[in-house]
Structure 1
Amino acid sequence: MKTLEAIFNDIEELFGIGCLDRVKKMIADNQSYRIEGQEGAKWVMPELSSSAWLDPYDTASNLTNAIAQLEANADLIHQEYHQARELNILTPYDHYLGRREKWDGLYLFKGEEWTPESSQYFSASRAKLETNFTDLLCPLLEVHFSVLGPRAHIPPHSDLWNFTLNLHLAIDIPSNCDITVNGETREWQKGKVLLFDYSFIHEARNQSDSERVCLLMDIWHPDLTVAEKYALTSFVQLLRGS
């Protein structure tokens, strides 16, 4: 197996010397680039936009068209989800901080590949996601339906890093549900997207008597270059021993 240095050298030969400076800074010094709210994150890469909440419709990013297509297909995704939901195929959501009561998942993409369930139950939804998010999905993480049960609370926590973002497409949203990221609380709206940097501390609440369902996608931060995506993928794979 190649060392990280050898992998980085190959990437720099292809994309140019200096193309991985931000990645190297993060690895060499992982504390200096944090701002308030990111203290609990494992890795914080410098010089990425540092807003806790991001505007999913920002035309300056490369996300606008994909998000518009996602929202345009929200009814289709909702329909396929409910057809699958009747089969009781949810599993406890396997968060890296541990499993929590009343927090389930239904995975479409996991372990760097699309799941069998994505083909069997979500063929139309998967086709749309593959068409519109091919270059945006982070292969290191997941696409899944996150199901937060009645009266459930996900306590404040930070996730692993800031070079991917958490995209939520709201599927089933009862009243009295909200999410707080770095002190700012927002509510989901059915068929609409929320986008945030989950390196910031965040928590979610369902204070209703029904399930709250969102399609969650881990997407690359739009400030990243192609070279940086290659490097970060290799870096995390080596950390995981894969």
Structure 2
Amino acid sequence: MSPEQYAITQDDRWKTYFLYGYGFKAEQNCTRCPETTNIIEQIPGITTAFFSILSPHKHIPKHRGYYKGVIRCHLGLIIPQPFFKCRMRVGNDVAFWQEGKALIFDDCYQHEVWNDTDWIRVVLFFDVLRPLLFPLSVINQYLISFIANSSLVKNGLKNQHEWDKRLEKTFFKIL
């Protein structure tokens, strides 16, 4: 769990399976998910992509993103029923995931998530560059590059490598 994720939730009932993060590719994970990786690689301006796995009866408290240069998308993959018990509030609006449908939002607005069902919720979570006119688009690209080289992302990469090692020792050995 990253320090940023830990600041939002202190338990392990929200898991992530990273594919891409600010220009860095999780090669092993992408190899394990070739069809998803192929689709992701066709999305223009993608900065981050991972599976977000929310355990039953988990609430992610209100929080907001740090940078307005990206737009967030959640593609519903496994959405437990009844759908209205698995939801997200962004600002004053409440949204419900549907399998095969995307929710697009600005994560700089305060948002929170609930899974009040007995099953896991899985979405493909990804960020794309916010469409901006020149010269703001160039400035945004520069800032994204700066973020990619920040300790925030470098620590995330380190945590991802450690997670990959633990996953390899446990889960994939069982299979």
Give, as a single letter, the amino acid of the residue that structure 2 aligns with 1:209: D
Any gaps of 5 or more consecutive residues in structure 2?
155-175
What percent identity do the matched residue pairs reach?
A: 26
Distance 1:186 1:121 in 2: 30
Give, as a single letter, the amino acid of the residue that structure 1 aligns with 2:4: Y
1:103 aligns with 14
1:227 aligns with 138
TM-score, structure 1 as length reference = 0.55
Q: Secondary structure at the match of 1:191?
A: coil
Please report how far the alpha carbon of residue 162 of structure 1 lies from its aligned counterpart in structure 2 after TM superposition.
Answer: 1.2
Distance 1:115 1:237, change over 3 A: closer
Ranges of 4+ aligned residues in structure 1 off by more than 3 Å: 237-242
Distance 1:165 1:177 in 2: 21
Contact 2:40–2:49 (CA under 8 A) maintained in structure 1? no
Give, as a single letter, the amino acid of the residue that structure 1 aligns with 2:106: D
Q: Secondary structure at the match of 1:106?
A: strand
Q: Secondary structure at the match of 1:216?
A: strand
User: Does residue 153 in structure 1 map to residue 51 in structure 2?
Assistant: no
Is the radius of gyration larger for structure 1 or structure 2?
Answer: 1
Distance 1:231 1:111, change over 3 A: closer
Please report how far the alpha carbon of residue 239 of structure 1 lies from its aligned counterpart in structure 2 after TM superposition.
Answer: 5.0
Pairing partner for 2:78 from 172, 175, 180: 172
2:97 aligns with 188
User: Does residue 120 in structure 1 map to residue 31 in structure 2?
Assistant: yes
Contact 1:107–1:117 (CA under 8 A) maintained in structure 2? no
Cα distance per residue 1:195-228 (max 9 Å; x no partner): 0100110000000000010000011112354413
TM-score, structure 2 as length reference = 0.74
Q: Whose strand proportion is higher, 1 or 2?
A: 2
Aligned residue-pair number: 145
Distance 1:162 1:230 in 2: 12
Alignment of 1:40-51 (within 5 A): none
1:47 aligns with none
Please report how far the alpha carbon of residue 161 of structure 1 lies from its aligned counterpart in structure 2 after TM superposition.
Answer: 1.4
Please report how far the alpha carbon of residue 230 of structure 1 lies from its aligned counterpart in structure 2 after TM superposition.
Answer: 2.6
1:197 aligns with 106
Give, as a single letter, the amino acid of the residue that structure 2 aligns with 1:107: F
